[in-house]
Amino acid sequence: MRMRNLWTKAGVLGSVSMAFGSMLWSQKKTETNQTGSNPACTEPPSPYELKLVQVLFRHGARTPLKSIPDVMEAQWVPNLLEPPAHTQINYVVTDLEGGPRPSSPVEDSYRANILTGGTYPGQLTTVGMQQLYELGERLRKRYIQDTAFLNPTFSPTEVYVRSTNIVRTIESAKCLVAGLFQQSQRDMVSILTTEAESEILYPNYHGCRLLKLLSGHRWAESSTLPDIAADLRSIQSALGIAAHQRVDFILIRDDMVARETHGLPCPPALDSWRNTVEQRAVEMICHIYEPSKRENLQLCVGPLFHTLMGNIEDQLQGTTSEPNRKLFLYSAHDTTLMPCLMALGVFDMRWPPYAADITLELHQHRQTKEAFIKVSYIGKDQLIPGCSGVYCPLQEFKQAFSNYSLTSELYESLCNRTESVAEP
């Protein structure tokens, strides 16, 4: 049971709030798929043609997973979860083959508890719904208004939507689609999910025994590192948290940021600790994920990276079962984005904000037909180590990606090992 709780905590733990002002999209038009050009337009056409977009994004603001013990309670009342009318669409949640939605042990664990005020932990709030709607609007500007890459009406043959099987990510996907297509749809939006054992959209401590083995002790160990432990003792004293209470900086940060985002009161003693809480929480997560250890990150992101690259290869080779597919949307968690950013070599040592996104664009040079990948994080282009430019030649990108990509067969083979891997 303890390891199961660890999986639940580490696999889907999420929290954050940063201003969306840092998420401004570039206004520069970098591609167009229109065959005609306007002779009156003074901007020359891009040499690159956009072929495919994949967006991996974090859910929006939510209720905390746990409240900081022994401090003043925030009131998490049901009206904080009211869905705005403009985020409503016609959608259905299925498994990956279109069958009934699988059971969700993670969601069940949330609903075994009730926060002060009467809501469940880990639920998407009105604020979070609006954040994802606005991310959808940003994607709309880039891929519908600026470039006419996507049809302005949702089409399931053009857009694929997958989410972790947790209510807040499912609802986040729904809100993004509402913002992207302004509720314009001829067809039902299917949001695909899978059972917990085979989830690839976060590090799966439940489904991968070796990952549990490698990371389990590091989770417990992260709070005992000398600098972190000293600060934790100090903040517990400052907040009046009893010494026997089991808290860590990730839990404190989760509750703190959730309160701030929703305008709920924080303990005044936290004011002077805010930056330390942020820093120590990130240091803990880096200790857990061990970005310096290739195998650990491989087990965290390997199947997801393989899926993303498979989508790119299918598009280029014309082997996709949906030849009109242009957009893949993956609704996930901060614990998804952080190991992905680490594996890509662009983690900025900041906790990903609510509704943060990693976007991969596949481009093809109009003359040479050479393929390029462009990666952005929260709307800002990233230069991936090993790439000769922001528009990264496909072979260079594949080399960087292949360091962490794992086929499902290799992933399962590694996961079923139970011996500890020797330190290099």
E-state strands within 194-326: none
Predicted confidence at residue 42, as pLDDT, reads 53
Q: Are 85 and 182 in contact (CB under 8 A)?
A: no
List C-alpha distances in Å: 410 to 297, 298, 414.
14, 11, 6
Q: Is 334 a catalytic residue?
A: yes
Q: Which H or E element spans position 162? A: strand 159-163
List C-alpha distances in Å: 221 to 2, 53, 111, 288.
15, 39, 28, 9
Which residues, other chains included, contact 322 with Cβ-Cβ below 8 Å and sequence gap of 6+?
A: 157, 160
Predicted confidence at residue 216, as pLDDT, reads 83
Secondary structure class of 154 (helix, strand, coil): strand
Catalytic residue among 59, 206, 262, 333: 59
Q: Write down the pTM of the prediction.
A: 0.89
Q: Which two tokens stand for residue 315?
A: 């598009």
Q: Which two tokens stand for residue 320?
A: 């996709």
Predicted confidence at residue 217, as pLDDT, reads 84
Q: Are 169 and 106 in contact (CB under 8 A)?
A: no
Spatial separation of the C-alpha atoms in residues 141 and 314, rounded to whole Å: 26
Q: Are 203 and 215 in contact (CB under 8 A)?
A: yes
Instruction: List the chain domain ranges.
Output: 20-203+292-415, 214-289
Catalytic residue among 248, 255, 334, 357: 334
Q: Cβ–Cβ contacts within 10 Å for residue 42, how many?
A: 5
Rg (CA), the chain: 22
Dihedral over Cα of 409, 103, 129, 150: its sign = positive
DSSP letters for 383-410: --TT-SSSSEEHHHHHHHHHTT---HHH
Predicted confidence at residue 358, as pLDDT, reads 98
DSSP letters for 81-144: GPPPGGG---EEEEETTSSBPPP-HHHHHHTT---TTS--TTPBPHHHHHHHHHHHHHHHIIII
E-state strands within 165-310: 189-193
Single out the residue of 57, 60, 144 nearest to residue 328, CA to CA: 57
Q: Is 217 a catalytic residue?
A: no
Residue with token string 């891009």: 46
Which residues, other chains included, contact 234 with Cβ-Cβ below 8 Å and sequence gap of 6+?
A: none
Q: What is the DSSP letter of 292?
A: T
CATH architecture of 20-203+292-415: 3-Layer(aba) Sandwich (3.40)
pLDDT tens, N- to C-terminus, the chain (424 residues):
443 343 333 333 333 333 333 333 333 333 334 444 444 445 678 899 999 999 999 999 999 999 999 998 899 999 999 999 999 999 999 999 999 999 999 999 999 999 999 999 999 999 999 999 999 999 999 999 999 999 999 999 999 999 999 999 999 999 999 999 999 999 999 999 999 999 999 999 999 999 999 888 898 899 999 999 999 999 999 999 998 999 999 999 999 999 999 999 999 999 999 999 999 999 999 999 988 889 999 999 999 999 999 999 999 999 988 999 999 999 999 999 999 999 999 999 999 999 999 999 999 999 999 999 999 999 999 999 999 999 999 999 999 999 999 999 999 999 998 765 544 4
Predicted confidence at residue 10, as pLDDT, reads 38
Q: Are 362 and 316 in contact (CB under 8 A)?
A: yes
* Number of continuous H segments (helices) and E segments (strands) in the chain: 12, 9
Q: What is the dihedral of CA 68, 74, 78, 84, to 10 degrees?
A: -100
Give the angle subtended at the CA of 258 by the CAs of 254 and 259, to the nearest 5°: 120
Q: Which two tokens stand for residue 289?
A: 């994920």
Residue 14 — left, alpha, or beta (φ > 0 → left; ψ -120 to 50 → alpha)? beta
